[in-house]
Amino acid sequence: MIVAVDGPAAAGKGTLARRLAQALGLPYMDTGLLYRAVGRRVLDAGADPRDAAVALRAAETLRAEDLHRADLRGPIADMAASAVAAMPAVRAALLDFQRRFGRAQGAVMDGRDIGTVIFPDAEAKLFVTASAEVRATRRHRELQARGVAADYDQVLAEIRDRDAQDVNRPVAPLKPAPDAMLLDTSALDADAAFAAAMALLAAREQAGRA
């Protein structure tokens, strides 16, 4: 079984997908880490994240340990990931890896295009959203909890920039699959979002049996 959990940055996909994976006994993959690791390797090479040749080389030579680096988050890593994710060749280079992972034992995978491109036939698709303001508040709190000085307005501007870049790219843009179930977490905490997602999955399964 593949459960696709797509949606914009900081909508609560990661927390939700991890909990769903545990509840359903499925492996979990945060596919954003792939793009983050590629973006980071481009920065390591001293190149511009929009440099397609360097980004493709980084994607083709990605190693498992690159996904465990401690410097894959933060504003610079965020924008570098979003820039390399807009390149068709980079996306193509990472496609097989994602499909192999999912096909091995089933999976809950979170990202932007799991339900539209990677697994269009996924058994269940959730599109998780929240308003930009709520997402910025969550991200801001997260940064403060980690002791990182951050300005709310700047966090909100960065979220809006990244949304625009992810939504407007010509290849695999961020959008709900036609058969995705929408989950707006603006007014939900992590427990409520998990309960709502489980209810959606159960309703879908029941409808499939009817």
Chain positions contacting ligand DC, by CB under 6 A: 9, 31-32, 35-36, 81-82, 85, 111-113, 162, 166
**Shortest distance, position 1 Cβ to ligand DC, whole Å:** 19
3-state SS, 165-196, equals HHHHCCCCCCCCCCCCEEEECCCCCHHHHHHH
Taking the least distance from each CB to ligand DC, the nearer of 64 and 207 is 64
**Shortest distance, position 7 Cβ to ligand DC, whole Å:** 9
**Shortest distance, position 187 Cβ to ligand DC, whole Å:** 22
Taking the least distance from each CB to ligand DC, the nearer of 57 and 112 is 112
**Shortest distance, position 34 Cβ to ligand DC, whole Å:** 7
Taking the least distance from each CB to ligand DC, the nearer of 190 and 199 is 190
Taking the least distance from each CB to ligand DC, the nearer of 66 and 113 is 113
Taking the least distance from each CB to ligand DC, the nearer of 112 and 125 is 112
* Tokens 């940055």 -> residue: 9
Taking the least distance from each CB to ligand DC, the nearer of 35 and 194 is 35
**Shortest distance, position 113 Cβ to ligand DC, whole Å:** 5
**Shortest distance, position 82 Cβ to ligand DC, whole Å:** 3
Q: What is the radius of gyration, based on Cα positions, of the chain?
A: 17
